[in-house]
Structure 1
Amino acid sequence: MATTYDIAYDLEKQIRESDEYEQLKQAYQTVNEHDEAKKLFDEFRQLQLDLQQKQMSGEAISEEEAKNAETSFQNIQQHKEITDLMSAEQRMSLLINDLNQIITKPLQELYGTLGEENK
């Protein structure tokens, strides 16, 4: 009988073999093959991380930082390689979110039931 971990490793294998993952992998490779696209994408990702860290630490994002983020986003949208990668990332994210909902359904049902008993 398969253990929960065996099933999880099978799921990992299925994700690696999915169309969503293959498209993401190809799009990422394409961006990395184009120097300008790679540079812009890397700068955009770093800017995103910096802004997320500021928000998580409770710091306000300045008007200048917001403007820089908007300019960076506009720049990357001009590169088909990057927009293709971002679309592939969105499809992969949807897949992961769907899987997460399926996996956590027993907990949602349990806590939902427990919450209803306390009413």
Structure 2
Amino acid sequence: MAVNLYDAAYDLEKAIRQSDEYTRLTKMYDAVYADATARKMFEDFRNLQLKLQEKQMTGQEITQQEVDQAQQTVGIVQQNLKIAQLMEAEQQMSRVIADLNQLIMKPLEELYSSHQ
């Protein structure tokens, strides 16, 4: 019997939305965005992250000044409890997604490793 992978993916999406990790992430996100100071700090941090990622992806050099600024910004935002909790929840969700990705890729990895 054939399995519709897209149906399985939609079921996985629903499960992710109902997971404790996602629920915690949304609560932490809402807490940051309900606090104007935390929201501004977080948005500034995200914009800096995106700018550096874009430079990296386009092969532009990231200056030492930009690295220093990023490290200083991380230190500042992590002092805000709400942002620190949000970042921790993001890390937990990222670990879950990475684990799921490993499971999804397992059949292909086994296939290719068995034919070497």
- Normalised TM-score (structure 2): 0.94
The correspondence of residues 1-119 of structure 1 with structure 2, limited to 5 A, is: 3-114=4-115, 116=116
The separation in 2 between residues aligned to 1:69 and 1:77, in whole angstroms, is: 12
Runs of 5+ in structure 1 lacking a partner? none
Q: Which amino acid aligns with 1:80?
A: L
Runs of 5+ in structure 2 lacking a partner? none
SS of 1:61 mapped into structure 2 = coil
When the two chains are superposed, the root-mean-square deviation of aligned CA atoms in Å is 1.1
Which whole-Å deviations, capped at 9, do the CAs of 1:50-79 have from their partners, x for residues lacking one?
111111111111121111111111110110
Q: How many residues align?
A: 115
* Runs of 4+ more than 2 Å apart: none
The separation in 2 between residues aligned to 1:3 and 1:57, in whole angstroms, is: 37
- Normalised TM-score (structure 1): 0.92
The separation in 1 between residues aligned to 2:101 and 2:71, in whole angstroms, is: 31
The separation in 2 between residues aligned to 1:103 and 1:65, in whole angstroms, is: 36
Identity in percent:
50
Q: Which amino acid aligns with 2:92?
A: R
Answer with 81-90 or 2-11: which moved more. 2-11
Which whole-Å deviations, capped at 9, do the CAs of 1:26-68 have from their partners, x for residues lacking one?
0000000011111011111110111111111111111211111
The separation in 2 between residues aligned to 1:95 and 1:6, in whole angstroms, is: 20
Shift of 1:4: 1.6
Q: Which amino acid aligns with 2:104?
A: I
The separation in 1 between residues aligned to 2:20 and 2:9, in whole angstroms, is: 19
